[in-house]
Structure 1
């Protein structure tokens, strides 16, 4: 019996050993789809084969299994890529590395989704390939979204506002440029033009199309050009640009990772010659001993056929990532097995034999295992975040100088632009401040060391069209010369002086806007910039919110808040001038407090002090005399009670302040000429029902109506200073609301009017340009230089100062007379002191009454 049991166990053990030996000897099949005639195709083939050899040389990786790699050459053909994938699906493939191009990634991803076969690519880096839509697709190199973010941050770092995107019309390049546009917008920059080239520009005759598109680019304003394409097409674009002289001084070229791919693998002198001064990006891979060793044996692996580029490192790591995921997959007890797809079986095989395609039963588990894999490869740490992006994406920023790729810094999503390696910065606290963003100096195209300004005037032969208001009033600011038909005036002189300070010529022509019979609408003038009728507007143009939304303004060159102008009458000295310092209310309150304090002192003193006793008539006279004599500190009666002395001291302090204020105000009224208004300022103007004048074409009309809710029926347009004066004198309007510079000029000739109240808005004038126009920034800098040098003040003095024929006048408002509000604190303290003294006094009396 025991013998039979031992024999049975031996048979079971033999079966298990046989099964294990069979499983251990099975191959794990992996496919790869690449165009082997391309740089990345050839580099990837050598790198993947090296990775497979290294994995198979270590039995501990796959537990004795052999990793078998089958490479399919798609030969630039999408159709052949699909056929290769279908062939792989018939041969029990557990994963596919590829495709090389993002064009085929969505198609093959749908196939992978159906058959549960993971798809890993280190070159199809289209930002739109979402793991939600394609759950079996993995990008094993940094997504192009991060490369576009790096370019956007460089554009912002150098202060350029616009770029021109040049790209071939295939998925990865096109979607990358879309992502770049989004990232530029976040930094208040934009793509001003997209130069779209055919998907394949290699065939004969396509060069002419490239040249034609670059001719359009050359005629445009922006000189910052971003080229996003494949490595096979990039040199063709550079060759066309060199033919047109677009690789010279003044241009900025930024190339995506296609350029280092070429120069690392095939450092041809003609490519270096065309790429002089270009800035390019290359995925950053930290230095390590493994990387050095792999680089050292590359010539042996490739037999000197091609140089190693960064995508060769990613190809090697992708195979290792897949191998480690398969190891974890098998370690968890999963088996590599396949089953028929019911949907394809129902269709029937037909001539394509679709029924032979099988589903990888463990595909979903392998996908999860890949997501959870954490390893360090030749390219650095490799694992995925929650969005299935590789963690710590970073790039080398490279400047092509001579026959070298000179590194000028790094970019990473953690630290932005820096000259310190990203892996070092990640060990420090994050700092994305503008001061921390830094790159080394650049040698630009043409050998220039100075940063190009990034734009020029469009080379279409026309001058800058500048709209100028044709004013019929206040022509000192801007007007049309009757003889030369040119523009002149205060604003024009400032504009021309600023233009002279620019480091380049600005060919421009002034085009007058308006019919010459009345002042034009300045909002309409600014709107013409957005329609393309004008490139800019120069004049006495107020900077207001609704205009700021459609144009860019320069730095303000003068202040121009709104003020109220009203008729005045002079207040001369009279026999009753002493009443003026106080308002009637103030006189009444002061007199009342004199009486109240006298009564309080009497209450506190008359039981203890004989001077506050006597017949009622005498006591009343004593109260009045004592209180009013404190005005001159001439009271004769002594206070003996503590509470009375406390009240008296506080009251004498109040009297001192009131007396000093009255004296100062009366002195002002008697020595300075004053004016009296029926309108005291904007507040009384709003509450009145009288009509209000404004300058036709000014923003004052909209402000009064929309912001202050004054009905339009009360607003009366006026065209000239003469109309101002006539309307005010004849009472057709109660006041005129206009900007301060116009009012100052108006009052220099009309002395019977003055400014009532204070300036109730803060505004300024500036020159208007198209949105995102770089000229607006340069003009702002020039205006600041004018101001700092004193030239702006000299121009202002020439046109606007020393014109007044009227004596400087001072306006008297309600606020010039002293009111109870000015002394409410003092009166409050005095009142509290009186109340406390009385409460204390009566409290003591009641206490003594009950005690006795």
Structure 2
């Protein structure tokens, strides 16, 4: 009985719907709208149900509106020509005021051009190709977002899990190709590259898809981004599971074209997706959405009784909100004065040229763009001619369902929960801890490395060649097995680094034939082999140089960097007559002598101002006393307190200086027995000395740049040649210095420790590293492993094995030159001494002039009192005021008064200063 009711309702529904659409009651203006969908597709079926419910809900809420849209639904049958034909029919026969759809981007391009001609807005909630631009299609409105909005989310996922290479897999349509340029740019920003692009035609058979999957299996990259329609993606993932590409070690990311319909996929398809990540537009939860979902489920079952059940998707919500936006705009614009103007064309014109132009089209377009409201999908705002979507949800397919692992927003990047964080972030900021745990393909909880040597593929090809210094690399061929073997310091470091990788890396050595002299030209060709894809990596004593980085990437250096000199040393102990002057630099000697004299002068002046009889006398005597003050502190000679302060500080200075001088002189006489014959490149240039280098090395060009004459630059082939040339010296046809890279110099000094030392580095260089092809995903992992090796005891043991224990050679290490004491070393003591002496002298001068002024004022005061009053009392007081023992007779004689005044002033000054 229940089935009978459904059948009857199904038969009556189209009739009632047609009556409702075609009925035109008095006073109601019909607003014709065309709808073009692929009614046989999943998205088309979901959208049709949503549109019918939107019509009912809108006019139930707005029953008083005088306009009512009439829908004309057409089926494009997944064909671009059919969609265009239906659009022309709607424009010619029904004069539709707007077209909702079409469903595909390829269909939307042509139909939007028809909109340009007829001024009819075209609103699509499913066409996401970024090439659909409002600049060239002004009447096209995208009631969704374009595919480029999600690429930053995908790039953030790639960066979060540390993947360096990604292979996009997309369908060969406008929809599939449209996202690729934006995806490439986004991945480039997170230092990820695309080594290969897999393009799947819509017409591809199962066998063709399988062949493409086998091709992907042979590649080293194991991270894939899938951008397809849900129909093609379903077939693709089933085949991927069959060939074993949904196993452990692989990583899959789906764009929203598949993820938005994840709930409507067949269980067999969903099971094949287990372990994949998906990106979808986030829809905020609401009571209205829950109520609508229940109504939608019931309506869909009624309208599609023979179809499998589908779930409401974001496309259904956008279709619902689009109807509301168009209906509201129609009510605002009205339809009373709308006319369609026929263009003036000839009789034999095509149907496109006879299409009429809507007079209300521009007004309707502006009304749609200005209409903003909160719909079931969230904020519905088409002011920029498309929805602005800035929030995406990241899901993980597990079994027959999925789980939420995090969110991505333009403001905060990746986060586990969607919140309004105010922390300063960047678009691609995030870490694994910001997401919930993921169950990866093969039910693994270990994050895929993203790079793997194929099981069926060849081993990593490691290029090696014998160096001019066999201690670094020596290659041998096993005559029985034909296997290439390599030994040396560079080989040991590489093998240790491979052991410390977090995954197995099978490799084999392949010999590169050179002249075996380590020349720059040979090594340039050697490194170039990785660019030619002959080797995956080349190892050895390869200097990291700028010209080589143009066609190869280098790991972190595993040796010390720089270019230095090897020079002979000479025994300088007790052979210098004036060695007692060397502990102090010339500036220090000059400063000490100046302060020696200055201190003596200050103390002499202080005692002179204090009327010390010991400092008075002829100039030779005063000079002797000054020198005496500078060296000794004699209490009988020094009487003033200020003088003693100056002398105490000066003696402290002398004690520090004397002890430092003694220690430095002792060191020169006992410890520093050897001195380099040359300490600077400029000495070699000024003296016109010969210098040597290893034949074929780029050091020759460096020496020419420094200004050496070509005739003074001598090439040599081996360490023994270096030793012989340095032993002879520049004047005897040899060389005064050997210029070489630091690792080679340390190897030379390990075998010829006696008589030579290293000076420098004199020039910067990057050191030795391994070369890989540009963008190799192994670069980061091997560099980290090298850093792990060189930072521990392992590197010390490797160096001892191949170079020797350099601690036994005292000459190894850079020579920095003289150890003299300079003025800067004692700047603080000089400042303290100078401040103490100068301030004491200033204080003494102030006291002297103050007392002199005071004494003069008192004397004049006593002389002026008898002249003013003329009384005997004043005369008596005057005599009492003169305490110098002057007589009345002297007071009465003007000439003697002046002399007496001078004598009294002198006596009082002596008394006061004492």
- Report if TM-score (shorter chain) is over 0.5: yes
**Alpha carbons of structure 1 residues 816 and 59: separation in structure 2 relative to 1, 3 Å:** same
Q: Does 1:411 align with 2:408?
A: yes
- Residue 537 of structure 1, CA deviation: 1.9
- Residue 270 of structure 1, CA deviation: 2.2
**Alpha carbons of structure 1 residues 563 and 71: separation in structure 2 relative to 1, 3 Å:** same
Residue deviations 1:557-602, cap 9 Å, x none?
Answer: 3433433322221121356543331234433442333223323332
1:588, 1:411 → 2: CA distance? 71
Residue deviations 1:65-103, cap 9 Å, x none?
Answer: 211111221212222222222223333322211121111
2:261, 2:814 → 1: CA distance? 78
Q: Which residue of 2 aligns with 1:368?
A: 366
Q: Which residue of 1 aligns with 2:651?
A: 652
Residue deviations 1:801-825, cap 9 Å, x none?
Answer: 3267755579875441123343345
Q: Which residue of 2 aligns with 1:438?
A: 434
Q: Does 1:749 align with 2:751?
A: yes
Maintained 8 Å contact 2:415/2:430: no
2:458 is paired with a residue whose SS is: coil
**Alpha carbons of structure 1 residues 713 and 597: separation in structure 2 relative to 1, 3 Å:** farther
Q: Which residue of 2 aligns with 1:311?
A: 315
Q: Which residue of 2 aligns with 1:501?
A: 500
Alignment map for 1:62-211 (pairs within 5 Å): 63-90=65-92, 91-198=94-201, 200-201=202-203, 206-211=205-210
2:710, 2:447 → 1: CA distance? 53
2:624, 2:476 → 1: CA distance? 80
2:170, 2:314 → 1: CA distance? 22
Which is further off, 611-620 or 359-368? 359-368
Q: Which residue of 2 aligns with 1:240?
A: 239
1:76 is paired with a residue whose SS is: coil
**Alpha carbons of structure 1 residues 28 and 810: separation in structure 2 relative to 1, 3 Å:** closer
Q: Normalising to structure 1: TM-score of the pair? A: 0.86
**Alpha carbons of structure 1 residues 23 and 604: separation in structure 2 relative to 1, 3 Å:** farther
Residue deviations 1:674-701, cap 9 Å, x none?
Answer: 3223422457567776554444565656
2:679, 2:336 → 1: CA distance? 92
Q: Structure 1, unaligned stretches of length 5 or more?
A: 1-20
2:71 is paired with a residue whose SS is: strand
2:411, 2:167 → 1: CA distance? 27
**Alpha carbons of structure 1 residues 83 and 550: separation in structure 2 relative to 1, 3 Å:** same
**Alpha carbons of structure 1 residues 688 and 216: separation in structure 2 relative to 1, 3 Å:** farther
2:667 is paired with a residue whose SS is: helix
Q: Does 1:214 align with 2:246?
A: no
Maintained 8 Å contact 1:606/1:613: yes
Q: Which residue of 2 aligns with 1:606?
A: 608
**Alpha carbons of structure 1 residues 175 and 770: separation in structure 2 relative to 1, 3 Å:** same
- Residue 193 of structure 1, CA deviation: 0.4
Q: Which residue of 2 aligns with 1:539?
A: 540
1:216 is paired with a residue whose SS is: helix
1:150, 1:714 → 2: CA distance? 62
**Alpha carbons of structure 1 residues 417 and 701: separation in structure 2 relative to 1, 3 Å:** farther
2:823, 2:189 → 1: CA distance? 55
1:103 is paired with a residue whose SS is: helix
**Alpha carbons of structure 1 residues 412 and 688: separation in structure 2 relative to 1, 3 Å:** farther
Alignment map for 1:249-398 (pairs within 5 Å): 249-265=248-264, 267-302=265-300, 303=302, 304=305, 305=307, 306-307=309-310, 308-330=312-334, 337-340=338-341, 345-348=343-346, 350=348, 352-354=350-352, 356-384=354-382, 388-398=385-395
Maintained 8 Å contact 1:227/1:255: yes
Higher-Rg structure is 2
**Alpha carbons of structure 1 residues 163 and 76: separation in structure 2 relative to 1, 3 Å:** same
Maintained 8 Å contact 2:553/2:779: yes
2:279, 2:664 → 1: CA distance? 74
- Residue 278 of structure 1, CA deviation: 1.9
- Residue 456 of structure 1, CA deviation: 1.6
1:66 is paired with a residue whose SS is: strand
1:761, 1:311 → 2: CA distance? 61
Residue deviations 1:747-788, cap 9 Å, x none?
Answer: 223222112356764854433322332223332343455457
Residue deviations 1:22-72, cap 9 Å, x none?
Answer: 994111111122221111112111211221222233335x72321111122
**Alpha carbons of structure 1 residues 579 and 240: separation in structure 2 relative to 1, 3 Å:** same
Q: Normalising to structure 2: TM-score of the pair? A: 0.81
Maintained 8 Å contact 2:695/2:715: yes
2:35 is paired with a residue whose SS is: strand
**Alpha carbons of structure 1 residues 482 and 410: separation in structure 2 relative to 1, 3 Å:** closer
Match of 2:468 among 469, 472, 476: 472
Q: Which residue of 2 aligns with 1:571?
A: 572
Match of 2:737 among 713, 718, 735: 735
Maintained 8 Å contact 2:512/2:526: no
**Alpha carbons of structure 1 residues 338 and 797: separation in structure 2 relative to 1, 3 Å:** farther
2:425, 2:231 → 1: CA distance? 38
- Residue 130 of structure 1, CA deviation: 2.6
**Alpha carbons of structure 1 residues 246 and 68: separation in structure 2 relative to 1, 3 Å:** same
Q: Which residue of 1 aligns with 2:452?
A: 456
- Residue 173 of structure 1, CA deviation: 0.9
2:717, 2:159 → 1: CA distance? 46
Maintained 8 Å contact 2:100/2:122: yes
Q: How much is the aligned-residue C-alpha RMSD, in angstroms?
A: 3.4
1:716, 1:124 → 2: CA distance? 72
**Alpha carbons of structure 1 residues 557 and 105: separation in structure 2 relative to 1, 3 Å:** same
1:141, 1:187 → 2: CA distance? 27
Maintained 8 Å contact 2:564/2:741: yes
Alignment map for 1:696-775 (pairs within 5 Å): 696=695, 717-729=715-727, 730-731=729-730, 732-750=734-752, 751-757=754-760, 761=764, 763-775=766-778
- Residue 360 of structure 1, CA deviation: 2.7
1:810, 1:87 → 2: CA distance? 89
Q: Does 1:679 align with 2:675?
A: no
2:133, 2:584 → 1: CA distance? 78
1:314, 1:713 → 2: CA distance? 82
2:359, 2:849 → 1: CA distance? 102
1:767 is paired with a residue whose SS is: strand
Q: Does 1:582 align with 2:584?
A: yes
1:701, 1:371 → 2: CA distance? 71
1:812, 1:606 → 2: CA distance? 53
Residue deviations 1:229-248, cap 9 Å, x none?
Answer: 11221123224323433222
Q: Which residue of 2 aligns with 1:17?
A: none
Q: Structure 2, unaligned stretches of length 5 or more?
A: 1-23, 857-914
Q: Which residue of 2 aligns with 1:15?
A: none
- Residue 624 of structure 1, CA deviation: 2.5
Residue deviations 1:156-214, cap 9 Å, x none?
Answer: 1111111111111211211212211111001110211001222x226xxx333333332
1:32 is paired with a residue whose SS is: strand
2:120, 2:707 → 1: CA distance? 69
